[in-house]
Every structure is written in structure tokens, then in C-alpha cells.
Structure 1
Amino acid sequence: MLIPTPKLTASDSHVLADVDRMRAELRFELQSKPGKWAGGLRKFLTADAVAASNSIEGFRVSTVDVEDLIAGERDVEVSEENKAETLAYQQMMSYIQSLHDVDDFVYSQGFINALHWMLQGHRHTESRPAGQWRRGPVYVTDASDPRVAAYAAPGADEVPALMAQLVDWLNADDDAHPLVQAAMAHLNLVSIHPWADGNGRMSRSLQTLMIAREGVLAPEFSSIEAWLGRSRNTWEYYQVLGRRGNTYRPDQDAAEWIRFSLTAYHQQAQTVHARWVQSGRAWAMLEKFAAGMRLDERVVSALHDVAMSGRVRRTRYEQAEGLSLQQAQRDLRDLVAAGVLEPVGRTRARFYTKGSGYPLDVLEVAETPTTLEDPYRRH
């Protein structure tokens, strides 16, 4: 038996309507004002989702380091383990994003296991297989005492039947709102815990895929994984799941989970919109700055990376503008000579941060924190 979708309260419905409105407005802005900075924002949001979801599982790589790894940088100062986890998750996320508009897409147990192989294949062993249902018990241990099981998943013999039910449900027509369906898919998968490892990231990825398949926003703008990765939200994430008890009890009401998920959707929509606005303003200001300095307009993308991510690497700038290695090196060298950028490190590991001549008003725009509204306090 799967966990049934609860009936929405009046407050839930109001919050969900707010989320729909914000996402529709962002879609309109993306389509009507497709600024050049949108490409960089898509990459940032993907990297932020990867960094956040991995951080929940203890693999800590900053968003800017994830951006560099995705761009193909090899000299990023992260451990080999964290690099492997980042690149595996990014590969799976890229595939998920590519499925958002596939006409003949269907869910299957084989497809879900294939995603798991993409995520965990580099860790595959006989005792902890990737891309296959687990063969034994699995426990989520208590953070304060690893000898205590905070959650014991259903027995391994129950997993195939439960996953068959989940796949049937995923492919069936459902009256629930797609965002609610995605939240329930996350809850059901993480509760079944069908693999020896990687269950949390797979559950969050399934939710991301379902949101992307809804088709309202491009996949990069759809994930709530970055929101879940913030420390306070991660703590609440575990608290909400923990209050469901330490064994699989699908007969419990999932209303609290839906409220938590709708808050996540709402606040992530607020965050993405704020980032979109900041990115656009910073880009416009940097265009004026570059023109005033008589710099080539292409260097704006390098300066924009510094504003929004804190630094830029030659590889990312080269890829963003389609430049040769020599052109990218020359531009960055000229920006250093002008005092706009400052190099950090040597040779291939070098990156660039703001110099004394970098426009402070741009940094003020880019670094202004976003105040997030609790959507349930309005209803």
C-alpha cells in the first residue's frame, strides 16, 4: 500500500494558487525578456540543486565549485569522493532535465533503477548494488546515536511489489495538482527506501523530474532541492519525516508533508525570482560599466560571474562566450591590468575575483539578501 494523497486544506489551496501564479509570472518573464544572463542563471540553479541535495547526504561542495566541475574544470579543490558524487549527480540531473518534453515518456521500474545506476554506479558492490533493489534491510540511523534506527524501511521482500505500485501510480491519471503529486512521489519513494544507498537523492530527483514534466518552467527553474539543502530546511525536512514514525506506516495522514512541500515550492519560487531580478539588474549595470571603460561587451559575462558567484574561471568564460583559449586569457589579463579583477592562485587552478576597480554598486545589487515570506502566515 502506498501513502495516499491527502485532501488539501483551504490554506493549502491558497498557497498552491500563489505558487502557480509566481511560476506563471516567471515563465512569462523568461519568455518575454530572455536576457543573456539567463544561460548563466540556468547553470547556477542546476549547480545549486546538485550542491544542496548532495550536502544533505554529507557531500559538501560549494555551488561555485559545482559550477566549475560541471564546466570541466579539473583543478577544483574538492576531495575525489566529493568530485565523484558531484559529477554523478550532475549527470543524472542533466538527463532528468532532458526528459521534460519527451512525448512518449513513461515511468518504469527499469527506468528508475537506471537513474539510480547513474547516481550510484561508481559505488556499486555485490553487497550494496546500484541500479537494483536492495537485498536486505536498510535503516536510517539516529544522528545522535548510530546504534538507534530513526527509521526502518519495509523488508526487502516487500520492495518489488511496492515499487510496482508506485510505478503504476506514477503512470496513472491523478486528480491531484502536479506539484502535490510530485511531493507525494518523493514521500512514497523515500519511505519505501528501495536501494541500499542513495534513497534521499533519488527521491528528491524524482520530485524534480515530475515538476519538470509538468512543463510550466524549464527544468532548471523547477527544482526545490536548493531550498531543501539550506541547513534550517534540512533539519525541518528530517523532522517532518521523523514525525511519521520509525517504521513504514502508509495509513498515516500526509497533510504535514504537503504543507512542508508547498512552503518549499513557494519559497523557492521567491528565491528564483529574486535571483532572476538581481541577475538582470547586475548585467545591465555591467554593460554600462564596460561601455564606460571601453571594454569589449563580451567581458560582461566574466564580470557577471564575479558579481553573482564571487569568482570566474577562464574555462567558464571561454565556454560562455565561445572564445579561444588565447582570447579568454587576454581578456582576463586586461581586466586584471585595469584593476577590475584580481587573480587568485597559479596556472590551471587560477580564478579571478573582484579587484579594487570592480563597480561596488553592482556588488551591492548582487549581494543584497532576499527576505522570504512564510506563505502560510498570509492565509
Structure 2
Amino acid sequence: MLFPTPALSQIDERVLGEIDSMRDVLRRQLRSTPSKWTDGLRKYLTADAVAASNSIEGFKVSTVDVEDLMDGERDVEVSDENRAETLAYQQMMTYIQSLHDYADFSYSKGLLNALHWMLQGHRHTARKPAGQWRRGPVYVTDPRDPSIAAYTGPDPDTVPGLMAELIDWLNADDGDHPLVRAAMAHLQLVSIHPWADGNGRMSRSLQTLMIAREGVLAPELSSIEAWLGRPGNTWEYYRELNARGATYLPDQQVSSWIRFNLTAYHQQSQTVQGRFDRSGRVWTALVDFAGSSGLDERMMTALHDVAMTGRVRRSRYEHAEGLSLQQAQRDLRDLTTAQLLQPIGRTRARYYTAGPRFPESALGVARTPMSLRNPYVD
């Protein structure tokens, strides 16, 4: 038995309508925006989702470090464990993103277990096998006292049947809004806890996959994983899951879970729109500065990265502008000489941050925080 999808209240319907409107506006804006901007935004949001979802499980890597790891940088100061977890999750997310328009698509045991292997294959052991249903009990322990089980998954003998039921539900069309179905899929999977490890990230990834398959926006523009990874939201996330009980009890009302997810969708849409708008204003400020300073406009890509993320590496700038190694090195050297950038570190590990003459107009826009509105609060 699975959790039944609750009926939406009038307020839920209003909030869902606002989410749809925001996503539609963003989709139209992206179509008329140079790919140089949107590619950078999507890469950042993918890295932010990976960093946030991993952080919920205790793997702490900053978003900018995840971006560097995604770019193939070797000299990033993270532990071997955090590097492995980041690259595994990024590999799975990349595959999920590629499935957004796959024509002959269906959910299956094989697909879910393959995704789990991408995520957990580097941790595969006989006791905690990757890519197959668990064969023993599983517990979510209380973070304050690991001797207490905050949640105990259903008996392993019931897992194959529950997962078969869930896969049938995933492949069916019950007429509910795709975002509501994605939220319910997250709850169903995390409650069944079908694997020995990695269930939280797999459940959040399934939600992202369903959003990708909806096709309205690229998944990295709609995923709520980054929102869930913010400390206050993570606490609320655990509170919502704990409200379902200490054991598998699917015959219950879960309207609060839907409201929690609609809030997440709404505020993540606000966040993405805000970053998109801020990125555009920063670019305009930098282009104006370039025009008055005689700088080549391609250098604005490096300055834009610094303004929006705090730093840039030579390899990222080189790839973003399609430059040779020598061209990228020369540009960054010229920007350093002009005191627009300042280098940190040596040789391969070097990156660049804002120098003393970096245009304050761009930094002011980039560093101005935005406010998020709670759609359920008038």
C-alpha cells in the first residue's frame, strides 16, 4: 500500500498556479537569453543541488567547489570521501538531466537500481549492496542519539512488492499535477527505504527526475534539492518526514507534506528568477565597465564568475570562452595587472577573486540579498 495523494485545498491550488506562472515566465525569458548566460546558470544550479543534497547527508562541499569538481579540477581542497560523493551524485544528476526528453521512457526496477549504483557503487559492500533492494532491516537514527531509531523501514520481505506497486504508480497517469506527483514520489520512496543506504538522495533525485520528465523547464531550474539543503529548510524537511511516524504507515493524510513541497517549489522558483535577474544586471554593469575601460568583452565572463560565485579558475574561463591555454592565461594576467582580479594560491590550484579595482557597481548588484515570500502567508 502507498500513501494516497491528498486533494488540494483552494489555497494549494492558488499557490500551484503561482508556481506555474513563474515557471512559464522564466521559460520564455530563457528562450530569448544568450546561451552563455543560461549555461552558466544551469551549471551553478546543478552544482548547488548536488552540494545541498549531499550536505543533508553530512557531506559538506561548497557549491563553488562542486562547480570546480564538475569542471574536472583536481586541485580542489576537499576530502577524498567528499570528492567521491560529489562526483557520484553529479554523475547520476547528469544522467537524470539527459532523460528529460527520452522518447521511449518508463520507470522500472532496473532504472532505479542503476541510478542507485551510480550514486552508491563506490560504497558497494556485501553488507550494504548498491544497485539492489536491501536484504535486511534499515533504520534512520536520531542525529542527537544514534542508539534511537527515528524511523524503521518496512520489513525487507515487503520491499519488492512495495517497489513494484510504486513503479506501476510512476508509470500511470492519475491526472494529478506533475509537481504534486513528484512530491508524492519522493515521500513514497523515502518511506519504503528500499536500499541499505542512499535512500534520501535517491528520493530527492526521483523527484528531480519527474520534474525533468514534465518538460516545462530543465530539471536544474526546477529541482528543490538546493532549497531543501538550506539549514532551516532541512530541519523542516526532517520534521515533515518524522510527522509520518516511526514506522511505515501509508494510510494517513499527508496534506502538510504537499504544502511543504509547494512552498519549496514556490521559493525555489523565486530564487532562480532572482539569480537570473541579478546575473543579467551584473553582466550589464560589467559590459558598461568594459566599454569605458577598453577591455575585451570576452573578459567579462571571468569577471562575471567572480561577481556571482566569488572566484574563477583559469580552466573554467578557458572552456567558457573557447580559448587556448595561452589566451586564457594572458587574459587573466592582464586582469590581474589591472587589479581587477587577484590570484589566490599557486600553479594548478590557483584561482582568482575580486581585486581592489573590481567594478563596485557589479559587486553591489551581485551581493545584494533577495527576500523570499512564503506563499502561504498573506
Bin of the TM-score, shorter chain as denominator length: over 0.9
The answer as to whether partners of 1:51 and 1:60 remain within 8 angstroms in 2 is yes
Question: 2:286 is matched with which residue?
Answer: 286
1:322-350 per-position Cα deviation (integer Å, ceiling 9, x unaligned): 11111111100000000000000000000
Matched, 1:106 2:106: yes
Question: 2:137 is matched with which residue?
Answer: 137
Shift of 1:295: 1.3
Question: 1:83 is matched with which residue?
Answer: 83
Question: 2:15 is matched with which residue?
Answer: 15
Which residue identity does 2:87 align to in structure 1?
L
1:227-247 per-position Cα deviation (integer Å, ceiling 9, x unaligned): 000000000000011011100
Q: CA RMSD in A?
A: 0.7
Q: Which moved more, 1:263-272 or 1:281-290?
A: 281-290
Matched, 1:299 2:308: no
Question: 1:322 is matched with which residue?
Answer: 322
Matched, 1:196 2:196: yes
Question: 1:275 is matched with which residue?
Answer: 275
Which residue identity does 1:121 align to in structure 2?
G
Matched, 1:353 2:356: no
Hey, what's the Cα distance between the residues in 2 that align with 1:364 and 1:285? Answer: 10
Question: 1:173 is matched with which residue?
Answer: 173
Which residue identity does 1:240 align to in structure 2?
E
Shift of 1:249: 0.1
1:128-182 per-position Cα deviation (integer Å, ceiling 9, x unaligned): 0000001100000011111010000001111000000000000011111000000
Hey, what's the Cα distance between the residues in 2 that align with 1:198 and 1:88? Answer: 11
The answer as to whether partners of 1:151 and 1:246 remain within 8 angstroms in 2 is yes
Aligned length: 378
Q: Which moved more, 1:101-110 or 1:283-292?
A: 283-292
Matched, 1:184 2:195: no
Instruction: Within 5 Å, give how 1:208-357 maps onto structure 2.
Output: 208-357=208-357
1:11-50 per-position Cα deviation (integer Å, ceiling 9, x unaligned): 1111000000000010011112336311111100000000
Q: Secondary structure at the match of 1:377?
A: coil
Hey, what's the Cα distance between the residues in 2 that align with 1:293 and 1:254? Answer: 58
Hey, what's the Cα distance between the residues in 1 that align with 2:335 and 2:371? Answer: 34
1:244-291 per-position Cα deviation (integer Å, ceiling 9, x unaligned): 110000001110100000000000000000000000110111112122
The answer as to whether partners of 1:53 and 1:226 remain within 8 angstroms in 2 is yes
Query: Matched residues, percent identical?
Result: 71
Q: Secondary structure at the match of 1:375?
A: coil
Instruction: Within 5 Å, give how 1:47-58 maps onto structure 2.
Output: 47-58=47-58
Q: Which moved more, 1:322-331 or 1:231-240?
A: 322-331
Q: Secondary structure at the match of 1:239?
A: helix
Which residue identity does 2:214 align to in structure 1?
E
Matched, 1:152 2:152: yes
Which residue identity does 1:173 align to in structure 2?
D
Hey, what's the Cα distance between the residues in 1 that align with 2:33 and 2:200? Answer: 36
1:185-238 per-position Cα deviation (integer Å, ceiling 9, x unaligned): 000000000001000000000000101111111122011100000000000000
Runs of 5+ unmatched residues, structure 2: none
Hey, what's the Cα distance between the residues in 1 that align with 2:232 and 2:145? Answer: 21
Which residue identity does 1:200 align to in structure 2?
G
Hey, what's the Cα distance between the residues in 1 that align with 2:218 and 2:172? Answer: 23
Hey, what's the Cα distance between the residues in 2 that align with 1:187 and 1:63? Answer: 26
The answer as to whether partners of 1:53 and 1:201 remain within 8 angstroms in 2 is yes
Runs of 5+ unmatched residues, structure 1: none
The answer as to whether partners of 1:35 and 1:280 remain within 8 angstroms in 2 is no
Alignment TM-score, normalising by the size of structure 1: 0.99
Alignment TM-score, normalising by the size of structure 2: 0.99
Shift of 1:63: 0.2
